[in-house]
């Protein structure tokens, strides 16, 4: 491994330079977002690290993020596809990993039309309302029993069933008990994709798969793909028996599309389910963790909800625009705990000059949004959870404010952003307005472990377990 430094006007890689801190090298494997943020404080907002045959550029300032995501979007719009994704030919089918190409455009368009456009989302609000009510009922049952709720599990069940209803018109997870299996598969996939893999840096190791990452991921992804394959077969049988498909869902549309075959549908579903469930779950876990420890923010959020929609009621999508404090809580959660801390790594498709450096063609480019969110020259009291900082600003998360880009930006911006935002507001607002919460251990909202765990996404290392009390 070579630390090749961050000198201005240098053509990268000019090194090698000695790595400044061995501790950081060790940490690179387990907490790369933190150690690279630390190195950025010393070496500036653009760094280059060469491991094996791969040069990785890490940018850590809003200005550099803008260079990558907007100014040179075209040059950085392909993805650096990890070996972990080379399973079941997923890299050749997934909208998240395909290079910008006619197939990628088609998959984005068909997903937008059927899932994410404002018209579609407005027309299937009822689905989300129903799944939200299931969530509130589950939590109400726990409150009657005085049981703690594992927020991650509860939210994961809601997210996955919401997606499975939109796509397949059914609940994929029925009981709280069966959430674990599917959640474990998704979490394992994210962890394997984020794990440093020697085969990504030394191509000669690709066949050997020395850490077993590809082979484990093949098993996890295979299980999910089989589930979707069975669902597609059941639907085809139904269409054959009944002569028509009365389900008004995404599967119906995809099966009718000349441009999609069954394999493409399975991989699209895998991409959307994995990308969409882990990110939403971890964001809500962090938001609840911050709120239960921050009495002032929690009571302000409750007060706003009570005034605008009424005490103890679930949030409706039409309420969202009237809830600035809730919106600020979500933004503040994204600032401190972006669920995809480096975005999905990009790959330079040509030599590009940014900020005085030449990024070589083929280099991997990471935008450290975690570091940007905690940078004290960008944010006042950067370490403090304070939703108020967003109350009188126009900063939003839609890819135009480079100090806050949890969904990325440019043409590869998160496809699921419009759905994600609706789900986050609905779930967080309703959890806050329908229940009072205290920590499981002793009710003292002081000592929650706020350590994170890096996969490709950043989750809480320990689950958030909190005891609900129904608001009457």
Selected from 124, 283, 294, 433, the binder of ligand HEM by CB under 6 A is: 283
Binding to ligand HEM by CB under 6 A, coded x per residue (else -) over 106-145, reads --x-------------------------------------
Name the one residue in this structure whose structure tokens are 């809830």.
323
Binding to ligand HEM by CB under 6 A, coded x per residue (else -) over 229-268, reads ----------------------------------------
**String of b and e for 313-327 (b: at least 16 CB within 10 Å)?**
bbbebebbeebebbb
Please report the beta strands in 97-201, taking only residues with DSSP state E, as ranges in sequence order.
149-150
Considering only residues 198 to 217 of the shown chain, the ones binding ligand HEM according to CB under 6 A are none
Per CB under 6 A, 326 contacts ligand HEM: no
Stretch that binds ligand HEM, among 43-51, 142-150, 269-277, 347-355 (CB under 6 A): 269-277
Per CB under 6 A, 274 contacts ligand HEM: no
Per CB under 6 A, 414 contacts ligand HEM: yes
What does the DSSP 8-state code read for residue 114?
Answer: I
Residue 107 has a CB neighbour count (10 Å cut-off) of: 23
Neighbouring-strand partners of residue 437: 468
Q: Is 129 helix (H, G, I), strand (E, B) or coil?
A: helix
Distance CA 197, CA 211 (A): 7
* Of residues 106 and 465, the one with the C-beta less far from ligand HEM: 106
Tokens of 69: 């995501």
What does the DSSP 8-state code read for residue 400?
Answer: S
Tokens of 287: 């938001």
Q: Which residues contact 371 (CB under 8 A, 6 or more apart)?
A: 33, 36, 37, 40, 60
Distance CA 225, CA 229 (A): 6
* Of residues 215 and 350, the one with the C-beta less far from ligand HEM: 350
Residue 414 annotated as part of some ligand binding site? yes
CB of 311 to ligand HEM, least distance (A): 28
Q: What are phi and psi of 102, to 5 degrees?
A: -60, -40
Q: Is 418 exposed, middle or buried (0-12, 13-18, 19+ CB in 10 A)?
A: middle
Stretch that binds ligand HEM, among 131-139, 150-158, 278-286, 302-310 (CB under 6 A): 278-286
CB of 343 to ligand HEM, least distance (A): 4
Selected from 164, 271, 327, 333, the binder of ligand HEM by CB under 6 A is: 271
Per CB under 6 A, 413 contacts ligand HEM: yes
8 A C-beta contact, residue 465 and residue 335: no
Question: Contacts with ligand HEM: how many residues (CB under 6 A)?
Answer: 26
The binding site for ligand HEM (CB under 6 A) comprises 95-96, 108, 163, 271-272, 275-276, 279-280, 283, 339-340, 343-344, 406-409, 412-416, 419-420
Residues tagged in the binding site annotation for heme: 414
Residues tagged in the binding site annotation: 414
């Amino acid at each position: 491994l070579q630390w090749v430094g961050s000198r201005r006007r240098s053509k990268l890689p000019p090194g090698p330079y000695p790595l400044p801190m061995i501790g950081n090298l060790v940490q690179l494997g387990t907490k790369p977002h933190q150690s690279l943020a630390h190195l950025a404080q010393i070496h500036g907002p653009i760094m280059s690290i060469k491991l094996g045959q791969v040069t990785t550029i890490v940018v850590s300032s809003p200005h550099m993020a803008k260079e990558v995501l907007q100014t040179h979007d075209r040059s950085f719009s392909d993805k650096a596809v990890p070996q972990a994704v080379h399973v079941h030919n997923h890299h050749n089918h997934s909208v998240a990993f395909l290079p910008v190409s006619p197939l990628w455009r088609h998959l984005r368009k068909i997903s937008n039309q059927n899932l994410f456009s404002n018209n579609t989302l407005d027309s299937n609000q009822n689905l989300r309302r129903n799944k939200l009510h299931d969530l509130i009922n589950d939590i109400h049952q726990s409150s009657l029993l005085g049981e703690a709720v594992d927020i991650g599990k509860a939210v994961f069940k809601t997210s996955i069933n919401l997606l499975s209803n939109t796509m397949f018109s059914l609940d994929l997870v029925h009981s709280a008990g069966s959430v674990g299996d599917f959640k474990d598969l998704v979490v394992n996939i994210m962890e394997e994709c984020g794990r440093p893999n020697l085969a990504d840096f030394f191509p000669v190791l690709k066949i050997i798969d020395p850490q077993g990452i590809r082979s484990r991921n093949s098993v996890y992804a295979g299980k999910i793909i089989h589930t979707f394959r069975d669902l597609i077969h059941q639907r085809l049988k139904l269409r054959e028996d009944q002569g028509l498909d009365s389900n008004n869902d995404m599967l119906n549309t995809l099966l009718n599309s000349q441009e999609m075959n069954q394999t493409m549908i399975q991989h699209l579903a895998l991409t959307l389910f994995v990308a969409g469930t882990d990110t939403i779950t971890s964001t809500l876990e962090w938001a609840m963790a911050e709120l239960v420890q921050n009495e002032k923010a929690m009571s302000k959020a409750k007060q706003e909800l009570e005034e605008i929609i009424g005490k103890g009621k679930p949030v409706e999508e039409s309420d969202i625009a009237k809830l600035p404090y809730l919106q600020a809580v979500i933004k503040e959660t994204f600032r401190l705990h972006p669920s995809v801390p480096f975005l999905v790594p990009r790959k330079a498709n040509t030599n590009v000059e940014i900020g005085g450096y030449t990024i070589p063609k083929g280099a991997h480019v990471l935008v450290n949004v975690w570091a940007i969110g905690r940078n004290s020259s960008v944010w006042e009291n950067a370490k403090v959870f304070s939703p108020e900082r967003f109350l009188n600003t126009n900063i939003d998360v839609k890819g135009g404010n480079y100090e806050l880009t949890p969904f990325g930006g440019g043409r590869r911006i998160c496809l699921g952003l419009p759905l994600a935002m609706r789900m986050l507001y609905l779930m967080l607002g309703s959890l806050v307005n329908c229940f009072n919460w205290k920590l499981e251990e002793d009710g003292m909202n002081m000592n929650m472990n706020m350590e994170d765990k890096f996969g490709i996404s950043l989750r809480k290392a320990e689950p958030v377990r909190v005891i609900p009390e129904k608001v009457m």
